[in-house]
A and B are shown apart, each in its own frame.
Chain A
Amino acid sequence: MRMQYDNPILSRRAAAVFALPTLVFIGVFLAFPALWAIYIGLTNLRLTGISAIQPRFVGFANFVSILRDSFFHNSLRITAQFVLGSALIGQLLLGLLLAVLLYNVKGPINDIVSSIVILAWIIPEVVVAYLWVAFLDYDFGLLNATRNLLGMPAVNWFFSHPVLSIIIFNTWRGTAFSMLLMGAALQTIPPSFLETADVIGASEWRKFRDIMLPLIRPHIITNAVLITIWTFNVFGPFLLTGGGPAFATDLVSIYTYRNAFKYFKLGYGSAISTIILAINLILASVYMKLARRGRA
Chain B
Amino acid sequence: MKSSWMQRISLLAIAALLLAVSVTQAAGVTLQITANAVKGGKNTQDAEWIETVIPEFEREMKAQGQDVRVQFLPAGIQDEDYKARLALDIKGGGGPDVIAFDHFWVPEFAEAKFLMPIDNYLKAWPEWGQYFDSMKAMGSFRGKTYLIMGGTDVRMIYYNKELFKKAGIPVPWQPKDWNELLAACRIIKQKLPGVTPIQLNAGVEMGEATSMQGFYMALQATGGWIYNWDTGKWIVKSPGLLDALNLYKAIYVDEKLGDAMLQVSPKARDKSFALYQAEKIAMYIEGTWMWSSVIAPSGAWGIPDRDARIGWAAFPGSGKPGAPPIASVSGGTGWVINPNTKHPDLAFRLLAKLNSAQARIDYWLKKPGIPPRKDLADAPEVKANPFISETTKRLVPYTTYRPGSPLYPEVSYQVQLMTERVVTGQMTPEQALDAYAKAVAGIAGDANVEIAK
Judging by beta carbons under 8 Å apart, are B265 and A245 in contact? yes
The 8 A CB mask of B254-273 against A (1 = contact, 0 = none) is 00000001001111000100
* Shortest distance from the beta carbon of B422 to any chain A beta carbon, whole Å: 11
The 8 A CB mask of A224-243 against B (1 = contact, 0 = none) is 00000000000000001110
Within 8 A of B (CB), among A135-156: 138-139, 156
Judging by beta carbons under 8 Å apart, are B264 and A47 in contact? no
If the complex has contacts A159-B264, A261-B84, are A48 and B420 also in contact, measured as CB distance less than 8 A?
no
Judging by beta carbons under 8 Å apart, are B108 and A48 in contact? yes
Closest to B88 in A: A47
Closest to B407 in A: A49
Give the bracket for the number of chain A residues in contact with chain B: 20 to 34
The 8 A CB mask of A120-145 against B (1 = contact, 0 = none) is 00000000000000000011000000
Judging by beta carbons under 8 Å apart, are A246 and B264 in contact? yes
Does B60 make an interface contact (CB < 8 A)? Answer: no
- Bound-complex Cα distance A159 to B259 (A): 12
A245 proximity list for chain B (CB < 8 A): 261, 264-265, 424
Judging by beta carbons under 8 Å apart, are B266 and A48 in contact? no
Does A158 make an interface contact (CB < 8 A)? Answer: yes
B204 proximity list for chain A (CB < 8 A): 244
Closest to B280 in A: A139
Closest to A260 in B: B84
Within 8 A of A (CB), among B100-129: 105, 107-109, 111-114
Judging by beta carbons under 8 Å apart, are A158 and B266 in contact? yes
Does B426 make an interface contact (CB < 8 A)? Answer: yes
- Bound-complex Cα distance A150 to B409 (A): 47
Judging by beta carbons under 8 Å apart, are A49 and B261 in contact? no
Closest to A244 in B: B264
Interface of chain A: mostly helix, strand, loop or mixed: loop
B261 proximity list for chain A (CB < 8 A): 138, 156, 159, 245
Closest to B421 in A: A246
Partner of A50, one of B80, B88, B91, B112: B112
Does A262 make an interface contact (CB < 8 A)? Answer: yes
Closest to A160 in B: B261
Judging by beta carbons under 8 Å apart, are A48 and B80 in contact? no
Does B410 make an interface contact (CB < 8 A)? Answer: yes
Most chain B CB within 10 A, of A156, A240, A246, A263, is at A246
A240 proximity list for chain B (CB < 8 A): 266
Partner of B265, one of A46, A47, A244, A262: A244
A264 proximity list for chain B (CB < 8 A): 84, 87, 108, 409
- Bound-complex Cα distance A263 to B84 (A): 9
A158 proximity list for chain B (CB < 8 A): 265-266
Partner of A53, one of B87, B112, B421, B426: B112
Closest to A71 in B: B417
Does A279 make an interface contact (CB < 8 A)? Answer: no
Judging by beta carbons under 8 Å apart, are B413 and A246 in contact? no
Judging by beta carbons under 8 Å apart, are B406 and A48 in contact? yes
- Bound-complex Cα distance A53 to B90 (A): 12
A262 proximity list for chain B (CB < 8 A): 80, 84
* Shortest distance from the beta carbon of B101 to any chain A beta carbon, whole Å: 12
- Bound-complex Cα distance A268 to B353 (A): 41
Does A52 make an interface contact (CB < 8 A)? Answer: yes
- Bound-complex Cα distance A158 to B264 (A): 10
Does B203 make an interface contact (CB < 8 A)? Answer: yes
- Bound-complex Cα distance A48 to B83 (A): 10
The 8 A CB mask of B67-92 against A (1 = contact, 0 = none) is 00000000000001000100110010
B111 proximity list for chain A (CB < 8 A): 48-50, 52
Does B205 make an interface contact (CB < 8 A)? Answer: yes
- Bound-complex Cα distance A35 to B247 (A): 49
A52 proximity list for chain B (CB < 8 A): 91, 111-112, 114
Closest to B114 in A: A48
- Bound-complex Cα distance A240 to B87 (A): 25
The 8 A CB mask of A16-33 against B (1 = contact, 0 = none) is 000000000000000000
A139 proximity list for chain B (CB < 8 A): 271
Partner of B113, one of A53, A159, A263: A53
* Shortest distance from the beta carbon of B235 to any chain A beta carbon, whole Å: 22
Judging by beta carbons under 8 Å apart, are A50 and B406 in contact? yes
A241 proximity list for chain B (CB < 8 A): 266
Judging by beta carbons under 8 Å apart, are B426 and A246 in contact? yes
B88 proximity list for chain A (CB < 8 A): 47, 261
Judging by beta carbons under 8 Å apart, are B265 and A263 in contact? no
Judging by beta carbons under 8 Å apart, are B112 and A49 in contact? yes
- Bound-complex Cα distance A163 to B409 (A): 29
- Bound-complex Cα distance A158 to B265 (A): 8
Judging by beta carbons under 8 Å apart, are B264 and A263 in contact? no
Interface residues of B (CB under 8 A from A): 80, 84, 87-88, 91, 105, 107-109, 111-114, 203-205, 261, 264-267, 271, 406-407, 409-410, 413, 420-421, 424, 426
A-B contact pairs, 10 of them (CB 8 A): A46-B112, A48-B112, A49-B407, A50-B406, A52-B91, A52-B112, A53-B113, A241-B266, A242-B266, A246-B421
* New contact pairs (6) apart from A49-B407, A241-B266, CB-CB < 8 Å: A47-B91, A49-B111, A52-B112, A159-B264, A246-B426, A261-B84
